[in-house]
Chains A and B, each alone.
Chain A
């Protein structure tokens, strides 16, 4: 009539098996995340190389030829750069269970370093090709220490989604202590976080969407979003 006590051992083993399975799925998902970020990085590196080629072409054959192709590429890249920055943060949060975020920190560092390289190229070509796209730099740090940084990131994400083609946003995590990012911070007189730089104008502290758009149009009235 009564069930043999071995059922409790069997159930324990099944539970253990399920736990292992869940951990395996979790590990697989982690690999998928790494794979996604690595793929996106490869795409970005290819784009960076292309940009360098465009830059060289502009130097050699004149701006006219390079600018035409450059404009199209530029718009593609802006979107993927911001999206990748957001994705790295999202995946980092998803896997922060036991603070295994070394990979993401390394990726963010590599990403930020490349971003600075891209920014330099972009600023250079922007002037030479007279594009109407605006550049925003965003300096921030870990949300635990800077609650307003999260708010500012949200505002910029909103602007990026709405005016993707007309704005290029570069974000720099100041927790990573990247020397080039520190140099930029000094150059633009960033004295507290969060801080945004809109077309060379520095605005520290949280800024609303309205404020950012207003400043964008004041500093670059030719931007199509101001129409």
Chain B
């Protein structure tokens, strides 16, 4: 009934049977049990299901799974390396840039992606790039501080 696709999720190769109308969000959460990918609107408005798909930040509720056969996916579970948190993750904790935590995986991932591309992002650039994700607890000021503080690590990395 469905078709088999292959995805590399956080470095591990997974084969999964999907239906033609199945969204990537459901495949990740329900079939591959990648539970850091949250959802709050299922129509591209809240940004909580954001993932890195072949290095690009996308909302996985707006992607059909069959379209992305062979793709590489990074979620926040894949950010820490050898038990070491990525600098942006540490910075989120230190600055208290999370409250209920439900949007945190999306914000962490989007901030990581932003800093990798633009380690010296200005406040306006930070706001522009994160305005697709909703934090109802209103932790936005702390998120901005966390990103600014973590940026030095990404600047060093880019130089290297």
Tell whether A and B belong to one assembly.
Answer: no
Interface of B toward A, CB cutoff 8 Å? none
